[in-house]
Amino acid sequence: MDKLRICGNGPLNGEIRVSGAKNAALPILCTSLLTADTMRFTNVPMLRDISTTQKLLQGMGVRVMTDNVHEMEITADHLDSLVAPYDLVKTMRASILVLGPTLARFGEATVSLPGGCAIGSRPVDQHIKGLVAMGAEVVIEHGYVKAKAARLRGAHIVMDVVTVGGTENLLMAAALADGTTILENAAREPEVTDLANCLVAMGARISGIGTNRLVVEGVDKLHGCEYAIMPDRIEAGTFLVAAAITQGHLILRNAAPRSMESVLDKLVEAGAIVEAGDDWISLDMKRRPKAINFRTLPYPAFPTDMQAQLMTLNCVAEGTGVVTETIFENRFMHVPELNRMGARIEVEGNTAVVHGVDKLSGATVMATDLRASASLVLAGLVAQGETIVDRIYHLDRGYEYIEKKLGAVGAQIERIS
């Protein structure tokens, strides 16, 4: 099993190209199930989760061609299977996103329940509630969601909680439903907007894009298109924290600054000089970071996927920062590992109090989930001595060639077996 070896090597300086957004690519690849035409996707990140999605679609009979760089062509003119099996779904919860489009186009779908998740509970009840409101017959048997509907019909759906996956599943299903579907309390994340824009490019009729009220007028048929995945705001934020924590200077290309304003604001609050254009971000940090307080909330507030990275910045900042996690109940699993490196973090319930220290020390640490692993890499960049980050298969789910990208701007980092 691969690990990362990191030695603190001073400030990071240079340019990094941001990859396509994993959290946008996963649902957008599933839109291929809504049409018999070929879909061509560009700016696709080559990640473990993308590979899992490819295997899932191919297992259903979909033809997938890729250059294994940044492009994919997907054709679902017919399916051999309408089942998403447990063996694949258990490795990636986003597999549930084949439920809505498969049901809408083929009249039935069987998808394994995703089960538990290391960072906390992620129920799919809102997905099921919405599909039932649209006329589907849904039963749960032997760990599988089994749904049928001759044709889904439009409905007025008010989601009990803001759910990104639920919004995406219902948005895709509604695109081929008979009549108008209104999704209230919809997620507003940029990745949901990217999905909606892709559906519009396929011929869907959607209004309210970017708001919490989406109105979808169902159409009889969608067509293929070419679509570029948006840049990954979480990868971009992680690299900006790397520059801030090492007191360096980075320029990010192929970035989407308007999708991550809450993160940029916090980095400025920490003392960074941040400039941005339409597709680039520059960060210059000339001093030790100042501790910051933040609370995770649905977009446009501060994203839970950046919580662990900003907490690491607080670990070596001047002062004390308070971090409140409101999205997932078990997303502080990186705290014991950071404390092993000399951090001073106290956790009570969903709040972590981080007392900044002058230095961290290298250690062997274990990644417990995707963003936790990123926080440990960041800690290794400023730790004295050698840091070994174990279980980096988590990291490969969401960061494309992270050791190469960081190494190109001055980090002393390598992958070892």
Q: What is the pLDDT of residues 194-246, one digit of tens each?
A: 999 999 999 999 999 999 999 999 999 999 999 999 999 999 999 999 999 99
Q: Estimate to the nearest angstrom the gap between the alpha carbon of 334 and the chain centroid.
A: 18
Angstrom CA distances, 98 to 86, 122, 175, 190, 253, stand at 13, 16, 14, 20, 32
Angstrom CA distances, 205 to 138, 171, 196, stand at 26, 11, 9
Average pLDDT over residues 246-267: 98
Average pLDDT over residues 270-281: 98
Which pLDDT tens digit goes with each residue over 279-338?
Answer: 999 999 999 999 999 999 999 999 999 999 999 999 999 999 999 999 987 789 999 999
Instruction: For residue 316, count CB atoms less than 10 angstroms from its CB and return exposed for 0-12, middle for 13-18, buried for 19 or more.
Output: buried
CB 380 within 8 A of CB 317: no
Would you name the residues annotated as active-site residues?
Answer: 117
What proportion of the chain, given as a percentage, has pLDDT over 90? 91
* Rounded-to-integer distance, Cα 349 and Cα 324, Å: 9
CB 261 within 8 A of CB 303: no
Instruction: For residue 18, count CB atoms less than 10 angstroms from its CB and return exposed for 0-12, middle for 13-18, buried for 19 or more.
Output: buried
119 or 409, which is more confident: 409
Band of the pLDDT at 122, cuts 50, 70, 90? low
Which pLDDT tens digit goes with each residue over 369-386?
Answer: 889 999 999 999 999 999
Which pLDDT tens digit goes with each residue over 71-82?
Answer: 999 999 999 999
What proportion of the chain, given as a percentage, has pLDDT over 70? 98
Token pair of 229 as six digits: 């995945």
| CA proximity to 172, closest of 33, 22, 342, 283 | 33
Q: What's the confidence (pLDDT) of residue 115?
A: 58
Which pLDDT tens digit goes with each residue over 277-295?
Answer: 999 999 999 999 999 999 9
Angle between helical axes of 233-245 and 261-269 (0-180°, round to 10): 10
Strand extents, DSSP E, 144-210:
144-148, 156-158, 180-184, 205-207
* Rounded-to-integer distance, Cα 174 and Cα 180, Å: 8
Q: Mean pLDDT check: name the lowest of 21-30, 100-109, 320-329.
A: 320-329
CB 351 within 8 A of CB 340: no
Q: What's the confidence (pLDDT) of residue 417?
A: 85
Statement: residue 1 has pLDDT above 80: no
CB 369 within 8 A of CB 332: no
Q: Mean pLDDT check: name the lowest of 53-57, 393-397, 410-414.
A: 393-397
Q: Which residues contact 336 (CB under 8 A, 6 or more apart)?
A: none
Statement: residue 120 has pLDDT above 70: no
> Model's pTM, two decimal places?
0.96
Statement: residue 116 has pLDDT above 50: no
Q: What's the confidence (pLDDT) of residue 356?
A: 98
Q: What's the confidence (pLDDT) of residue 119?
A: 44
Average pLDDT over residues 240-259: 98
Cα distance from N-terminal residue to C-terminal residue, the chain? 6
Which pLDDT tens digit goes with each residue over 137-170?
Answer: 999 999 899 999 999 999 999 999 999 999 999 9
Token pair of 91 as six digits: 């490795």
Token pair of 150 as six digits: 């001759």
